[in-house]
Amino acid sequence: MRHSITVPESFRALGRWQLEGEAGRRWLSALRRIVAEHCARWGLVIDGRPMHGYNGLAVPVRRGDEPLVLKVGWPDRSVVEQGEGLRLWGGRGTVLLVDADLDSGALLLERLDSGRSLQDVPLEELLSSGGSCAGSPCPPPAGSVPPGAPPPHSMTGCAAGGTRPGGPSPYACSTSNWCDPGPRPRVLASPGVVERDGSPAEDDRVYVGNAGVDGPLDGGWLLGHFKPPSDVRHSEAVEIKWGLHKPGDERARWVTGENRTALLILISGRFRVELPGRSVLLAERGDYVVWGEGVDHSWLAEEESVVLTVRWPSVPGHRVT
């Protein structure tokens, strides 16, 4: 029986493991063992190559004839919240949780049809349930959900594509009052298909997202030349980053031969920008610094910080790997 995986190099190369330090390196080294142990524990056979996002691996597996996914995520509080929330909602508007080992960050989930995107499902079919989640039964009625339970659209898989065989995805989530027939549905897996007020979007020239969710998927970058040409966030004129930095986080090496202009604004924390012959400390919300072409630079987060960076134009060749 096949229980072993190869951790993708693209996952190992993510900057977040550098931020996590030695704990991140130990966890990466233990991933193959964690997957193998849970395959043995739950009677699983690996059924495909691992996929990944920013926080964990999703490994296609089978238990007998049943296709499933073993998701192993960085074991922090968010994994516990995901597991508890998925167990509570029971597949109603979310992916179905089959089993969980929250201490290890392991979730066993139903496997959807990743070859069928919500973008290919007619809008009428998505909304045919009158505000419930894509044809899935409505979640528990008001009052039966414990206070503080995470909403389905905040949990694992809710922003993923794919459909259940024979029907739209349970990941098509409404924003609130799921069984209310009012026009509130929002399709998270297909930005731009449905607006927040329930009206159809005119085209794909509008993208609605969250910097805290979208940013970590691409090293903090929200907009720039590196996005696919068909994405409205693709731009060669400007690039924008929502940077989340832990204390002590610093750029691996100085940027030299700078051919862009940059604006960096402190949202929170304490952040230092190193410039030739000068060190600029951003310590108050809204502090900012601008530098132009030819100005080399580096940076250091003195405290946990959030910074917004705008650079123009957007050109390749500066990203540190």
Binning pLDDT at 50, 70 and 90, where does residue 194 land?
very low
Confidence of residue 270 (pLDDT cuts 50, 70, 90): very high
Mean pLDDT of the chain: 76
Report the distance separating Cα 161 and Cα 163, nearest Å: 7
- Say what the pLDDT of residue 198 is: 42
What are 241's strand-pairing partners? 221, 309
**H helices within the chain, ranges in order?**
9-12, 15-20, 22-42, 77-89, 123-126, 211-214
Instruction: Examine the pLDDT at 301 and tell me if it is beyond 80.
Output: yes
Average pLDDT over residues 37-43: 94
CA distance 242 to 297: 18
Return the minimum-mean-pLDDT range out of 194-198, 221-225, 293-297. Answer: 194-198
Which of 144-158, 171-185, 222-236 comes out lowest in average pLDDT? 171-185
Q: What is the mean pLDDT of residues 277-282?
A: 96
Contact 134, 170 (CB under 8 A): yes
Query: Quick check: do 9-110 and 212-312 share a fold?
Result: no
Q: What residues pair up with 59 in beta bridges, in sequence order?
A: 70
Give the whole-angstrom CA distance, residue 90 versus residue 258. 52
CATH T-level assignment (fold) for domain 9-110: Phosphorylase Kinase; domain 1 (3.30.200)
Tokens 């940059």 appear where? 262
The answer to pTM > 0.75 is no
Low-confidence winner among 54-68, 73-87, 301-315 (lowest mean pLDDT):
73-87
Question: Is the backbone peptide bond immediately before 313 cis, with ω within 30 degrees of 0?
Answer: yes
- The ranges assigned to domains in the chain are 9-110, 212-312
When pLDDT is averaged across residues 254-280 and rounded to a whole number, the result is 94
Long-range contacts of 71-74 (CB under 8 A, 24+ apart): 71/106, 71/107, 71/108, 71/109, 71/156, 72/31, 72/34, 72/35, 72/38, 72/104, 72/105, 72/106, 72/107, 73/105, 73/107, 74/20, 74/24, 74/27, 74/105
Q: How much is the average pLDDT of 258-272?
A: 95
What's the CATH fold of domain 212-312?
Jelly Rolls (2.60.120)
Q: What is the DSSP letter of 158?
A: T
- The residue that leads in pLDDT, 10 or 14, is 10
- Quickly list DSSP for 89-151: HTTSSSPPEEEEETTTTEEEEE--BTTS-GGGS-HHHHTTTTTSSTTSPP-SPTTSSPTTPPP
Q: Which residues contact 120 (CB under 8 A, 6 or more apart)?
A: none
Question: 310: closest CA among 219, 257, 243?
Answer: 243
